[in-house]
Structure 1
Amino acid sequence: MNWYVVYTKPKWEKKVAEQLRDKGVECYCPLITQVRQWSDRKKKVEVPLFNSYVFVQLPDSERNAVFQSVGVVRYLFWLGKPAIVRDEEINIIKKWLDPSKGNDISVLSFQIGDSIQLDSGPFSNQKAIVQEVTNTHYVLVLESLGCVLKMKLK
């Protein structure tokens, strides 16, 4: 079965994911914890990593089942077809957001332009190119994932 990306109404990601789970649809809404400040207090809240997106895994023949949930707008399309997300990409996101892993990152002395392979953490076994080196952080380009990773030095 493929993972598809469902576009939701703004701020409906968690509600849509809960409705889909109740209907027996395998779904994933990656959440991160942020500290939000109001005029009288600060509070930790869980917010979606991707605004207005929920990942669903279901057979192609049952794709219309998601529209029975309130808050679902449409599928995300890529080149005229529903966008498909690979299992490895979903697993990387899950691994990256898992707080129990306690991902330790060791930093060696790298130069700009060095090609390295990450050997630990959520992006283990990924190749990266060092784009920037400062006293406080490294910036790495993960070409296979199409993203830039900024790592703080402790």
Structure 2
Amino acid sequence: MKWYVVYTRPKWEKRAAEQLTRFNINCYCPVIKKTIQRSDRKIKVESPLFDHYIFVQLEEKDRNLVFNSPGVVRYLFWLGKHAIVKDQEIETIKEWLKSGDTAKEISVMQYQIGDEIHLNSGPFCDHNAVVKDITKTHYVLILESLGYVLKVKK
């Protein structure tokens, strides 16, 4: 069985994972413990490592079962196909979180306008670029060293 990535409604990651587990779907929502400041105290909470994403393991023919949960929006796609995560990658995340070797504050962020990034694949491999613009479907990157502007699909 393959691991697929499911996109959830905002703040529904843990609830969707619980619901899918009740439907006998193997799912994984990696969580981290964070300390947050309330007006009068600090509290520790479990928060999803990846906002809006959970992982589900099921047969290809059973993919539509995830939509029985009202928290599930859609599957994540990569290069026009369902995004598939390798078993080893899931195990690595689990082991890393279990080891307690995590940093105090962990965050997974999207690129922001002005960020300088290093391209490590494709025809412009090993070049640096600056994020010029972000649309719903594309990043616009400036390759200053080559004088190019790239439009890259998200």
Within a 5 Å distance, the mapping from 1:5-154 to structure 2 comes to: 5-98=5-98, 101=99
Match of 2:129 in 1: none
Deviation readout 1:10-60 (Å, 9 max, x if unpaired) = 100000000000010000000000000011111000000000000000000
Aligned-residue CA RMSD in angstroms? 1.2
Amino acid of the structure 2 residue aligned with 1:44:
K
Provide the C-alpha distance between the structure 2 equivalents of 1:102 and 1:7, rounded to a whole number of angstroms.
Answer: 27
Deviation readout 1:96-153 (Å, 9 max, x if unpaired) = 000xx455xxxxxxxxxxxxxxxxxxxxxxxxxxxxxxxxxxxxxxx8xxxxxxxxxx
**How many pairs were matched up?**
102
* TM, length-normalised to structure 1: 0.64
Distance 1:9 1:41, change over 3 A: same
Provide the C-alpha distance between the structure 1 equivalents of 2:100 and 2:4, rounded to a whole number of angstroms.
Answer: 29
Amino acid of the structure 2 residue aligned with 1:4:
Y
Q: Secondary structure at the match of 2:39?
A: coil
* TM, length-normalised to structure 2: 0.64
Amino acid of the structure 1 residue aligned with 2:16:
V
Provide the C-alpha distance between the structure 2 equivalents of 1:54 and 1:71, rounded to a whole number of angstroms.
Answer: 11
Runs of 4+ in 1 over 2 A off after TM superposition: none
Unmatched 5+ residue regions in structure 2? Answer: 102-119, 121-154
Distance 1:68 1:36, change over 3 A: same
